[in-house]
Structure 1
Amino acid sequence: MNTTDMAMGLFRVCLVVVTAIINHPLLFPRENATVPENEEEIIRKMQEHQEKLQMEQLRLEEEVSRLVAEKEALRQIEDEDQQQQLEAHTTWDLWSTLCMILFLIIEVWRQDHQDGTFPDCLGADEDELSGPGGAPLRGLPLPNRATLDHFYEHCIRSATGDATRTREFVEGFVDDLLEALRSICNRNTDMEMEDFIGVGSMYENWQVERPLLCHLFVPFVPPEPYSFHPEFWCSRLSMPLERQGYGQIKVTLADGDSLGCICGKTKFGEDMLCLLHGRNRGAWPRSGGSNEMEDLLCSRESSYLDAMQVMKWFQTALTKAWHRISHKYEFDLAFGELDTPGSLKIKFRSGKFMPFVLTPVIQCNDSDLYFTSQLPKEPCRGAPASNTDWLLSFAVYERQFLRMTAKALPEGACHLSCLQIASFLLSKQSRLTGPSGLSDYHLKTALLHLLLSRQAADWKTSQLDVRLQELFCFLERSLLEKKLHHFFVGNHKVPEAMGLPEVVRRAEPLNLFRSFVLQRTLYRHTVDSFYEMLKNAPTLISEYSLHVPSDRASPPPKAVAL
């Protein structure tokens, strides 16, 4: 019951009481009653009493009206407060949503549609480059040129002095190994191996890490009448981000007809393998078929080449080839890393070892591009989406560009010295804080961009300290912007004399740091590790200049015997 009802109930009780009093027989006798002598006095008192009751009624009505008005006012205030809170909450949610959408639009635009060349710190003010704790990059100075020269001569040049002998030994052995592999294959029905191609830092003359590692590409082609047709990711209308930089290899007949099988027309050797079918020589699987496919090089129910199957086939072929010639050598051969198909290691009886990598690759038409089955080592580059995705390698073009550029540079140019020192510092930092998203390939990519932007005279030997500082400046800007474009893909500044395929030149630039946008933990660790490397660089270079370690070789990894 509310206040209004209580007031009305009290008013009614008072009326009943007054009515009862007025009509009481003692006050108004009806029969044979004698009128009191003081009748006028009684009437006067009754009138006064009636007036008092009317006054009380008016007061009660005013009180009830006041209470009702107060209650209505309180209810209106509460309703207004609730409405204001609801409007404020709705407005905040709306602004939060709009801000989030705006932030995502800006981020997508910055990553995908921002035009212009690769972040260039060549003409930027060094004060704008923030280092650890907000300090500018130039606040972490590298040692002077004399210290850098001494460090390079005693810690880098001396460590790579036997690179030529290492290459000659490995190349001679690989020639013999591939010749043995060809001898056990039927040239009419099995894969055909071509001559190897040296790639990577060992053949670009800037490798620093010990032991020295030769990386060799081994192109292979299918037997007749099959042929390989590479498909670039950039030649398609749409491609998921994780598959950019990859491609697929379609297996067709040489005349361009759809994929078929010739195992019914050609007699295979006992150890030979049909490109499409396993040892059961079953028919190409149809929907609902029960035929099993074993040891296929093509993906199941697909005409695209399977990278994992090629890895297994290549390792098996290498094992057979080694067993054929092992009696000629006084050392053992073992597989090094199981996730790399051709990671091999020569083990001498003295306990020393010599690693090298043979990677099966497929040439892209008549260019120097190669599809490789080797999985990427960089944490910031994800694994391929499927087994039919092959990583596109520009290693041969990179080697050719460095050779072509070196011809125009002054004698004793410092470009490779900068790359070697940066690679040395990165390897030492990785041992201290673990691997990060920054790799030697990113260092080389940054150097290639600088070589294309700088004049030849800027790479004199006397400019080593300036160019090294500039290289780190370039990497810092790239990390802060999360953008490092691939040197060849979509780069119109690359000389046409390189012979790069037009489909690659016209492609959208490929950002090697794109994964940092989503992998925040990896990005934070990479940035912290980079600044820690810059901070430790002066002390590290000075220490290694005075105390050159006697044993630079890292402990040999576990090997799997062939």
Structure 2
Amino acid sequence: MTAPRGHSFHLELGNEDDILARNSSIHVELECTCARQQDFGDMLCFLHHSEDELKKQDPSLLDTLCTDSYLDAEKTARWFQNFVKTAWVLIPQSEVYNVNVLPSTRMCKLQLRNAARRNLTIEIIFGVQQGDSEQPEGIGHLYPQHVRRQLCHPCLEDICHALPDHHPLGPKAVHAGHGEDAAQLPVGRATMVSATFFFLTFLGLIQSPEEVGDELDDATNERMRQYAEELQERMMQLLLEMEETEKDQSWAHMGALLLSALQNWQFWACVGVTLLSFWLFFLLHKKLEELDDSSDEESSSNDEDRGGQAPVINDALDAGRFIAQSIQWRQLDLTTKCQLVKDLVHGFFFVFEWILTDTFFPVLHSPIGVGSAFEGWSPREDDTVYRFLAPMTAPHGHSFHLEQNSIRELPSRNSRIRVKLECTCAREQDFGNMVCFLHQPEELRRNPEPSLLQTLCTGSYLDVRKTSYWFQQLVKSTWKTLPESGAWQVNVLTSSRSCRLHLIDDTKSALFVEIMFGVQQGDSDIFLSSQKTEAVFTPDTIWPQSCAVAEMKFFRHIAANAQQDSFHLRCMQLCARILVGNDFTTYMLKTVVMHLLTTIPLESWHRRDFLQRMDDIMQYLRLCLRKKRLDHFFFGNEAMPEEIILPPDFQTSRPPNLFQHMAKDGNTYSQAMHEFRELQDRLTRMLTFGN
């Protein structure tokens, strides 16, 4: 590295007794640029201009990568690591290799992986040359020169072994040895690495440290255009010389000349890399201009809302907006499809209500859309499952009584629904010829219509399996009578605790619908439902407590109070996408997001805040893992919206710990920490590559 304009590097080698200079430092001083202002354009001298005048340009290196006027190795490494993460997608090698920036405080360690899952590790250390010698003063690692030679071979060997054995630049191309016989990087691989590093270095011309900003001034743009014109003129001169040579030489001599030029492929590689670099600069500059335009429009609208206050430019927000736009979001038309499925299912229940009138089967009410689709963040469109919870009430002559076997366990996983017969003698006139099951048992034996206890119960408890089977048969027998049967083909899939439907229209488009059953707990939004539990085996008479309706109402509340461009659903969608194949459940990440939605103002969930909010989610999850505790959202939460109605015990009970299994088992906790690190890596790749 060399000092930028207006600065100078001075090497301080520390103690005289320290021959290897392990304590050397790089002192950064400001240089006067008044006499060279014409060369630097509009750049002001850091020494002879006032602080107010210097605010018009980027801060000096002392304000960005230095600590007490000395170049800081950790700041330099962190700046370069952030730069690589942002700029990698612009490099041609990004189509072949996935990059992972490994944590390091004094260097930049890159782990590249190709489509064949071959790994290639690159370490980039930073140094300042000591005079005209070949011994740079490193701020990443201060190794003696002979140690560096010995460390050269293993690094190169790892690079070469990343290729297949049959590759001409693979392991066989490694030359073993140390010292003068140290391994030499094969020409092809060295060029690839050099080209990659060249791109990173070139992009460094248009990307400054985080404190400086991403904007390019007009003088820099003008100089870059002049460089491009000079390069084109040189290329034209070279082409003219080649044409003149072609006229003067014979075809045989010209063939030899062309063969020699083609063999000198390093020259053509440099020319191609240079032209490609200018093309990438043009695309990046155009992208930055578009971001600036959109940022100006948003800032102007925000200024009107604030009463004309000056906008605040934040490069971190622009980076968050840029990365959020680069992610390949799945185009979800959830609102339209949810309404389509909702109308279709409501058509079912309208017919069922008419069929089940004056019967002793459960009374079915309008189903409630729940789950990720109706909450607005379904991660996949092609296989989205549209879930409904159908509230049930007892038929006349019967009553439902909810029993929770364990008071300490909330939400209860072992709840049951007890069915009791009720006296209907006083209401016999209202129900016509219906007999009282309690006081007319002899009539009951002759009554062709059995009671609910005889059809859908096991003992005196409502049976989930029998209820699901009864509803599935009801769908099969009545489907042909529905108007929708002409446009949709229905397949009832096997399920023991719900009714799963596979619907196919005339265009062969498929929809998956799951209808669960539930009994409301009082007037609250909590139901005893037929949904599955985490247990390996769940008895047929168990109806666990479900907060699905309360969760749907919470996201509906957030959508009603958030601004139009809120990005909270995208954050939740990205969390669900990175969880594929991970032991963390979607409900855990959704609980984290719900907690943050009630603690972070909704005004801070815009597109420009995307990176910060995703970092908040991961940091919150990390903190919960360290404490081995993640509180259930709907228990003891004082920030609960008023429209969500909860039972009294939910409001006063201590929140259940969703990480209780980690607190009891150390191996489970260690596995969870390993899964969390993998989760972070997936998120980094998603933010880096967009898919």
Could you list the per-position Cα deviations for residues 312-363 of structure 1 after superposition, in whole angstroms to 9, with x for gaps in the alignment?
Answer: 2222222222244388324321134534421211024554311111111111
- The CA distance in 1 between the partners of 2:654 and 2:668, in whole Å, is 25
Q: Which residue of 2 aligns with 1:150?
A: 325
Cα contact 1:229–1:250 (8 A) shared by 2: yes
Q: Which residue of 2 aligns with 1:298?
A: 457
TM-score normalized by the length of structure 1: 0.58
Q: Does 1:204 align with 2:372?
A: no
Q: Does 1:403 align with 2:556?
A: yes
Could you list the per-position Cα deviations for residues 443-485 of structure 1 after superposition, in whole angstroms to 9, with x for gaps in the alignment?
Answer: 1111111122223343343221111111011122223433222
Q: Which residue of 1 aligns with 2:617?
A: 471
Q: Which residue of 2 aligns with 1:181?
A: 352
Q: Which residue of 2 aligns with 1:190?
A: 361
Cα contact 1:344–1:355 (8 A) shared by 2: yes
Q: Which residue of 2 aligns with 1:333?
A: 490
- The CA distance in 2 between the partners of 1:479 and 1:366, in whole Å, is 35
Closer/same/farther in 2, CA of residues 339 and 388 from structure 1, 3 Å limit: closer
Q: Which residue of 1 aligns with 2:452?
A: 275
| Amino acid in the other structure paired with 1:465 | L
Q: Which residue of 2 aligns with 1:81?
A: none
- The CA distance in 2 between the partners of 1:391 and 1:324, in whole Å, is 34
Closer/same/farther in 2, CA of residues 412 and 423 from structure 1, 3 Å limit: same
Q: State which of 519, 524, 533 in structure 2 corresponds to 1:367.
A: 524
Unaligned runs of 5+ in 2: 1-100, 111-315, 426-436
- The CA distance in 2 between the partners of 1:385 and 1:135, in whole Å, is 49
- The CA distance in 2 between the partners of 1:315 and 1:517, in whole Å, is 42
Q: Which residue of 1 aligns with 2:467?
A: 310
Q: State which of 334, 344, 354 in structure 1 corresponds to 2:511.
A: 354
| Amino acid in the other structure paired with 1:250 | R
Worse-matched range after superposition: 502-511 or 343-352 = 343-352
Q: State which of 622, 628, 632 in structure 2 corresponds to 1:486.
A: 632
Match of 1:250, SS?
strand
TM-score normalized by the length of structure 2: 0.48
Cα contact 1:147–1:542 (8 A) shared by 2: no
Q: Which residue of 2 aligns with 1:62?
A: none
Larger Rg belongs to? 1
- Give matches, 1:419-458, under 5 Å: 419-427=572-580, 430=581, 435-436=582-583, 438-458=584-604
Residue 198 of structure 1: how far off its partner (Å)? 1.0
- The CA distance in 2 between the partners of 1:320 and 1:299, in whole Å, is 24
Worse-matched range after superposition: 213-222 or 513-522 = 513-522
| Amino acid in the other structure paired with 2:456 | L
| Amino acid in the other structure paired with 1:491 | N
| Amino acid in the other structure paired with 1:275 | L
Cα contact 1:411–1:460 (8 A) shared by 2: no
Unaligned runs of 5+ in 1: 1-131, 278-295, 546-562
Cα contact 2:399–2:422 (8 A) shared by 1: yes
| Amino acid in the other structure paired with 1:216 | F
| Amino acid in the other structure paired with 1:425 | I
| Amino acid in the other structure paired with 1:166 | K
Match of 1:355, SS?
strand
Residue 521 of structure 1: how far off its partner (Å)? 6.4
Could you list the per-position Cα deviations for residues 146-183 of structure 1 after superposition, in whole angstroms to 9, with x for gaps in the alignment?
Answer: 4432145x423xx21x2222122212221222233333
Q: Which residue of 2 aligns with 1:168?
A: 339
Identity across aligned pairs (percent)?
A: 23
Cα RMSD, aligned residues only: 3.6
Cα contact 2:525–2:644 (8 A) shared by 1: no
Residue 372 of structure 1: how far off its partner (Å)? 0.9
Closer/same/farther in 2, CA of residues 352 and 471 from structure 1, 3 Å limit: same
Cα contact 1:244–1:510 (8 A) shared by 2: no
Q: Does 1:414 align with 2:414?
A: no
Worse-matched range after superposition: 246-255 or 366-375 = 246-255
Could you list the per-position Cα deviations for residues 65-107 of structure 1 after superposition, in whole angstroms to 9, with x for gaps in the alignment?
Answer: xxxxxxxxxxxxxxxxxxxxxxxxxxxxxxxxxxxxxxxxxxx
| Amino acid in the other structure paired with 1:155 | W
Cα contact 1:384–1:390 (8 A) shared by 2: no
Could you list the per-position Cα deviations for residues 501-537 of structure 1 after superposition, in whole angstroms to 9, with x for gaps in the alignment?
Answer: 2122122322222234557666555443332131132
Residue 407 of structure 1: how far off its partner (Å)? 4.1
Cα contact 2:518–2:530 (8 A) shared by 1: yes
How many pairs align?
370
Q: Which residue of 2 aligns with 1:538?
A: 684
